[in-house]
Structure 1
Amino acid sequence: MSSFLYYLVAFAVALGILVVVHEFGHYLAARWTGVKVLRFSVGFGRPLWERRLGQDGTVWAIAAFPLGGYVKMLDEREGEVAPEELHRSFNRQPVQWRMLIVAAGPAANFVLAIVLYWGLFWYGSEEFKPVLGVPAIASPAAVAGLEDGDLVRQVGGEKVQTWQEMRWVLLQRGVDQDQIDLEVINLRNEISIRRLDVSAVRRSGWEGDALERLGFSMFRPRLPAVIGKVNPNSAADAAGLRPGDEILTIDDQEVSSWADVVSAVRQSPGKPLLLEVMRQGATTQIPVTPAVVDEEGRAIGRIGASVSNTGQARAQLMTTVSYGPLPALGKAVVETWDKSAFTLRMIGKMITGEVSWRNISGPVTIADYAGQSARLGVDYYLKFLALVSISLGVLNLLPIPILDGGHLLYYLVEIIKRGPVSERAMEIGQQIGLTLLLMLMAFAFYNDINRLFSG
Structure 2
Amino acid sequence: MSNFLFYLAAFALILGVLIIVHEFGHYSVARWCGVKVLRFSVGFGRPLFALRLGRDGTEWALGAFPLGGYVKMLDEREGEVAAHERHRAFNTQPVLKRMAIVAAGPGANLLLAILVYWLLFFSGMEELRPILGTPPAATPAAAAGIHNGEVVRKVGATAVATWQDFRWELLQQGMDGQASDRQVTLEVMDGQQQIFMRRLDLSSLAEQGFEGDPLAHLGVIFFRPQIAAVLGTIAPGSVAERAGLQSGDRIVAIDGDVIELWPEAVQKIRSAAGRLLALTIQRGEQRLYLEVIPETHEERGLRIGRIGVGVRDPGPSREDVMVTVRYGVGVALAKAVAETWDKASFSLVMMGKMLTGEVSWKNLSGPVTIADYAGQSARMGSDYYLKFLALVSISLGVLNLLPIPVLDGGHLMYYMIEIIKRGPVSERVMEIGQQIGLALLVLLMAFAFYNDINRLISG
Q: Say if 1:26 and 1:71, in contact at 8 Å, map to a contact too.
A: yes
Q: Are 1:166 and 2:166 counterparts?
A: yes
Q: 2:292 is matched with which residue?
A: 287
Deviates more, 1:103-112 or 1:302-311: 302-311
Q: CA deviation at 1:420?
A: 1.0
The amino acid that maps onto 2:20 is V
Matches within 5 A, 1:171-210: 171-177=171-177, 178-210=182-214
Q: Say if 1:362 and 1:441, in contact at 8 Å, map to a contact too.
A: yes
The amino acid that maps onto 1:96 is L
Q: 2:372 is matched with which residue?
A: 368
Gaps of 5+ in 1: none
Provide the rounded CA distance (Å) in 2 between the counterparts of 1:225 and 1:395: 50
Q: 1:49 is matched with which residue?
A: 49
1:365-414 deviation digits (Å, cap 9, x = unpaired): 11111111111110000000000100000000000000000000111111
Q: Helix, strand or coil: the match of 2:110?
A: helix
Deviates more, 1:320-329 or 1:390-399: 320-329
Question: What percentage of residue pairs aligned between the two structures are identical?
Answer: 61
1:232-283 deviation digits (Å, cap 9, x = unpaired): 9xxx967669xx955532557675543233222233234244668999xx99
Judged with a 3 Å threshold, the aligned counterparts in structure 2 of structure 1 residues 391 and 238 are, in CA distance, closer, same or farther, namely same
1:170-210 deviation digits (Å, cap 9, x = unpaired): 00000124211111112332211111112122123333321
1:298-348 deviation digits (Å, cap 9, x = unpaired): 765456876576683313311111111111111000000111111111111
Q: What CA RMSD, in Å, does the superposition of the two structures yield over aligned residues?
A: 3.0
Provide the rounded CA distance (Å) in 2 between the counterparts of 1:309 and 1:52: 65
Deviates more, 1:23-32 or 1:191-200: 191-200
Q: CA deviation at 1:3?
A: 2.1
Matches within 5 A, 1:214-229: 214-223=218-227, 225=229
Provide the rounded CA distance (Å) in 2 between the counterparts of 1:370 and 1:263: 27
Q: Are 1:248 and 2:250 counterparts?
A: yes
Judged with a 3 Å threshold, the aligned counterparts in structure 2 of structure 1 residues 108 and 303 are, in CA distance, closer, same or farther, namely farther
Provide the rounded CA distance (Å) in 2 between the counterparts of 1:391 and 1:440: 14
Q: Helix, strand or coil: the match of 1:312?
A: coil
Deviates more, 1:360-369 or 1:392-401: 360-369
Q: Helix, strand or coil: the match of 1:384?
A: helix
Q: Say if 1:247 and 1:275, in contact at 8 Å, map to a contact too.
A: no
Q: 2:102 is matched with which residue?
A: 102
The amino acid that maps onto 1:376 is M
Q: 1:15 is matched with which residue?
A: 15
Q: Say if 1:274 and 1:288, in contact at 8 Å, map to a contact too.
A: no
1:120-140 deviation digits (Å, cap 9, x = unpaired): 011111111111111011011
The amino acid that maps onto 1:169 is E
Q: Say if 1:76 and 1:91, in contact at 8 Å, map to a contact too.
A: yes
Q: Say if 1:135 and 1:146, in contact at 8 Å, map to a contact too.
A: yes
Q: 1:428 is matched with which residue?
A: 432
Deviates more, 1:258-267 or 1:123-132: 258-267
Provide the rounded CA distance (Å) in 2 between the counterparts of 1:368 and 1:43: 21
Provide the rounded CA distance (Å) in 2 between the counterparts of 1:409 and 1:147: 52
Judged with a 3 Å threshold, the aligned counterparts in structure 2 of structure 1 residues 229 and 10 are, in CA distance, closer, same or farther, namely farther
Q: Say if 1:265 and 1:290, in contact at 8 Å, map to a contact too.
A: no
Matches within 5 A, 1:381-392: 381-392=385-396
Deviates more, 1:346-355 or 1:244-253: 244-253
Q: 2:153 is matched with which residue?
A: 153
Q: CA deviation at 1:66?
A: 1.3
Provide the rounded CA distance (Å) in 2 between the counterparts of 1:273 and 1:164: 39
Judged with a 3 Å threshold, the aligned counterparts in structure 2 of structure 1 residues 325 and 228 are, in CA distance, closer, same or farther, namely farther
Q: Helix, strand or coil: the match of 2:68?
A: strand
Gaps of 5+ in 2: none
Judged with a 3 Å threshold, the aligned counterparts in structure 2 of structure 1 residues 213 and 239 are, in CA distance, closer, same or farther, namely same
Judged with a 3 Å threshold, the aligned counterparts in structure 2 of structure 1 residues 309 and 62 are, in CA distance, closer, same or farther, namely farther
Deviates more, 1:392-401 or 1:345-354: 345-354
Q: CA deviation at 1:157?
A: 1.7
Deviates more, 1:90-99 or 1:195-204: 195-204
Provide the rounded CA distance (Å) in 1 between the counterparts of 2:55 and 2:133: 62
Q: Say if 2:234 and 2:240, in contact at 8 Å, map to a contact too.
A: no
TM-score (norm 1): 0.91
Q: Say if 2:404 and 2:437, in contact at 8 Å, map to a contact too.
A: yes
Q: Are 1:345 and 2:349 counterparts?
A: yes
Q: Say if 2:233 and 2:247, in contact at 8 Å, map to a contact too.
A: no
Q: Say if 2:225 and 2:315, in contact at 8 Å, map to a contact too.
A: no
Q: Are 1:71 and 2:75 counterparts?
A: no
Provide the rounded CA distance (Å) in 2 between the counterparts of 1:302 and 1:423: 70
1:415-454 deviation digits (Å, cap 9, x = unpaired): 1111111111110000000000110110111111111222
Q: CA deviation at 1:222?
A: 2.9
Deviates more, 1:206-215 or 1:136-145: 206-215
TM-score (norm 2): 0.90
Matches within 5 A, 1:113-132: 113-132=113-132
